[in-house]
Every structure is written in structure tokens, then in C-alpha cells.
Structure 1
Amino acid sequence: MTRYRYAMPRKARPAPVWAGMALLCGLVAAPAGALTLEFPGPATPAATQRANGASYPLPTARWEKSGLPTKLIEGTVERTAWHVDAPKLSSLDLMKPLRAQIINAGFQPVFECETEGCGGFDFRFATEVMAEPDMHVDLGDFRFLSAQRQGAAGIEAIGLLVSRSASKGFVQITRAVADDGPPMFAATNKVGTGLAPASGDTVTLATSNRPPLLPSKNSGVARLVTGGAVVLEGLDFGTGSTELTEGRYDSLAALARWLTENPDKTVALVGHTDASGGLDANITISKRRAASVRARLIQAYGIPAAQIEAQGVGYLSPIDSNLTEEGRQKNRRVEAILTSTQ
């Protein structure tokens, strides 16, 4: 098998679009710390993220109901996604040569798995994955490897995730190098109670858990009556998550007002996905997102649980083409459907 390799020379010049590259070197000061990987096919870098003073929860075992076991590496974190032009290669074909090179570089495997052995879609959504279209994960065909070695500055860890589509392979490599010394402080996103400001100080309390203000009646929720369904616009589940993020959602506020004003009416919240991945997994994801929206309506607005249900149909009811990213984004949605017949 021909492998493709690219290492940046001392005088940098543009990389050919087909090439691999010296992956994530520069995270450690010593030249020996550089890591160069060769791909099993023509590879194009899609996106790179780098942060100092960051942290990476390195997966150390399969996902269980209690969550994903991880080891936190704090320091410098760099993540790169690659597209590999190798339509005939399986996810195993993509993983094997990269895994061998990582081990040959002195890394010791911590955990490795394939799809269901990882924990299926739960693992995918519990670990950190770059957004589409930079990184694509087929929920029925992906592989993961975590490995670490002792470096001059501390523990150096790698998380390698591979998957594929019908036309190409996808590789995401996360590399983290631990810094010396503890962080200066830590904080959580929990709202504190019983905290009084010092004399002369001003404190602004967090409001993320408060229900947003209700908008005017001039909203698209009227289509529940005229058309039987309405797309809940602007919902944000975060990258790779099925939980609705905190924030003000006018579409939810409008729906909550309508349900409050019409207590005899019932609706179904129906989640939809694009066509990436298998049907069963997408149905589960879409139902979980609908359930998250239902929980927000119940908890934040006091809507009776009997008035709303949550369902998911995966990719079975698209409203746009799945052949474009714009179309796939439109297909990923939650709709409110009127289920009352009188």
C-alpha cells in the first residue's frame, strides 16, 4: 500500500493538497517530541484547533451508563481533522498504519475500541469531536485509540478517531501535552448560593437558569393550527450533544405561551437528523433531542408533562437535500406537531 507523507521543511512552502503533514509537531520544545504520521492515502487537512492552558479528557474505557471514563490532561491541546481520499479503505485500514506509527513513536495504548465496543453513539457524543463537515463520524463504523507517553514536560497523550463516508475517510487526532504545575484556580458553571460581595463591590448574578422572557404573539407557532406543525427555530444542542444548551429560545417561549393558553391541546415534539450514519442510531439521537426540548418546556415553563410527548424519526422525513451541508443543517431540527383532533 502506498503511503503519503509530508513534513514541513525549514523554509516553509505550501503543502500539496494531496499530502499528509508533520502532525501536531511543536507541542513540545525538544525536536525529538515531533510526531510525523504517514497516511494510507492522499490526505487533506480540514481544520486545526490549538489552545494553551487547556484540558483534554482522554477516554480510558468504553462508555457506560455512568458516563465515559477519562483521564484529564491539562496543558497544550491541539486537534486536527483530515480527509483521506481512499474510498476503498475500511475504517480498520485507516486505523492500523496510524496506530502502528503512534506505538513506534513510544506511545503506550490506554484504550482502543470499534463502534459498539466503544459504547456506540453514546461514546461518540461523550467524547470531543470536531464539527461537520471537518470531521464526520459514521455512527455505525468508527474506531478509536487513546495512547500516552512520558515526555520532557509531562504526560503526552493522543486520541485518534477514524471513520468514513461512502467517498472518503475521516481522521481526527487530538494531542495533549501536560504542563508543569497545578492550575492557578478552578471554577464550575454552577450558580453559587450564599455568596455576599465585599463592601463596595458589585455582583451580577447568573441568569442562565431563568426562563427567557416570552415574545409577542407574532410568532410562527400559529402554524401549529394552520399547518399542523412548526419547526422550532434556533435550537442549539452543542457540538456532538443531544442536550439543549442554556439560553433564550424565542421559539420555545412562543410554544410555551401557546400551550399555556391552550391547555386542552397536545403536541408531539419530533426530532429529525440528516442522513449521516445508520437509521437506528439516528432515531435514538433525534428522540433524545426531542426529549431534551420536552424537559426544558416542563422544567422552565411549567408545561404539564401530559401535554407534550417526545418522538424521533431520524432521517426519514427530510425537508431539504442531504447532498449539501446547508441541506443537512436544515434537516437537523425539532418540530412541534399538533396531536389534538378537536
Structure 2
Amino acid sequence: MRRDGLAALALIGVLAASRAFALDLPSGAELISEQIAPDRYQLPIAAFDGERVPTERIEGLVTRQIWRFPRSSHGTFRVLSALRDDFTARGFEEVFLCRATVCGGYDFRFGIDLARPPEMIVNLQDFRYVALRHSDGRVASALASRSGNTVYLQLITAAPMDAVPRAEVAAPDQIGPMPDGAIARAIAAEGHAALDDLTFETGSTALGPGPFASLTELAALMAADRALRVVLVGHTDWVGSLDANVALSRARADAVRARLIRDHGVAPDRIMARGVGYLAPRASNETDAGRMRNRRVEAVLERAP
């Protein structure tokens, strides 16, 4: 791999605030799009002042996500409050919070960095915005808006390159032989492997602190063959509705993807996340032990063309 490619992997390895967390969003959340790249971001820090929206410039690794809550009973207040609480619990402080006309209405909406329709639809009469900052220099902003019975959420985080440690990325001549552990054996035999040391509780999207041997081995496997791509597939037990479990399983897969990017230096474009809910059980859902086995994330490897 070229040195500039290694540098790019190292940049991606920087902790992006939104991807560092398994976000505890209200049920039904669907990740519509995500971009992670070194960039500049103008963080809105106040309402439209009659001439412009005051901003603070951040340079570093910027993550942009669009989430959607279709057929949702959640209002913008609940969605944004849950997100704000999630970030403040991890050391972020609120910088600015506003709603619709208080923000500046039309002038605020068109004066900030915001995705275009149809990904992000903003109802000028019903949107809320919050900006947060961490003492280490990371920032986050979120705008939630309701259109019809769907809530749209844009989440942007920016992490200065010196804010957090970079992931270690091995040079090609430092990569060892193909690992010969349980993950490698399962993939060689069946084309997929369950990451059975990961821990999720019923209804939770949070991945335990680890470290997890399965992720270490999977990352080593991918480092040894850089043509490999991974699809992470989340599975749940059958507690709850199908729609809720599909969303939950996707969120769990997203959490694993984030950990591989953050802690193991795997490039984001080599990992996808999907969720199938309880549609592919490997044990009976009638027992506690079976339900525990069904709450899992599997890695399915595909060789890039």
C-alpha cells in the first residue's frame, strides 16, 4: 500500500465523536448516509444575528451522518434530547441550543452546513438544533426536524487531529502471517464468522468496552489481505417487533464497525453494517440461553473486485 494510503488510514483512525459511541437513539433509527473524512467544519454557535450565523471553525476528522425515524411517534425534542444527554454523559458541554424561529428560521437553516433533500428534510416550523464541545477539542452538532410522520436528524462531529490518539496502522512489511484463530477458521470453512465474545444486552446498542479478541483477529485478517471487505450483520433475539429489532441489529453492527475503525485502524470503506433482526436465529428464542446466543454480530467477508 502506498504511504499516502497508510496516512489516510491513520487519519481515519482518529476518534470521531459520533462514531466513538454506540449512540442511544430512540427506537426506529435508520442511518441513511455517513461520510468520514479530514475536512473543515463551521460549527454554528449562535442564532442568526441579522447578517450571518456565528460559527467556530474546526479542522480535523469530520463525520457527517443523516438519521431517519420513519413512522415515528418521537418528536424533535425527544430525539435531540436523547442525543444531547448521550454526549453530555461523555463529557461534552452544551454550547448552544435553539428551536426553529429562535434559531433564525429560514436564515439559520440556509446559513449552516446542512445536507440537501431528500436525505435531509427541514420543516422551518419544527426543527431543533444543539451544539456541544468537549474539553479535548472535539465538537458535535445535531439538527432534528419533523416532516409529516418522519423525523430527520443530521449529526456532525469534528475531532482535531491532536485531540485524541491515532490508531496504529502497520506498514506492509510489518504485517505478520494470516492469523490462524477461530475467526479465520470459520471464515475459511463457511465464509462468515460469529463474533461471539462481543456483549450486547436485550434492547441495547452499546458495545462493551472490550478489548475483544474477535475484533483483533478480524482486523489482523483484513490487514493481511487488503482486498478483503467485511459486511457486519447484526442479529437479535425475538423480544420486540421486527422493525424495532432490524433497527437494533443494524445499530449493533454500526457499533462494531465504529470500534474496528476507531481502535483497529480499519478503513471505513472496507466495512459495511447491516441488520436482520431476529430473522436468522441460530438457537431457540424460547430460552434465555438461546436468546443470548441469538444476540450477536457476524462478519461476512467479500473479496473486492
TM-score category (smaller protein) = 0.3 to 0.5
Larger RCO of the pair (alpha carbons < 8 Å, separation 6+): 2
Q: Name the structure with the higher helix share.
A: 2
TM-score (norm 1): 0.42
TM-score (norm 2): 0.47
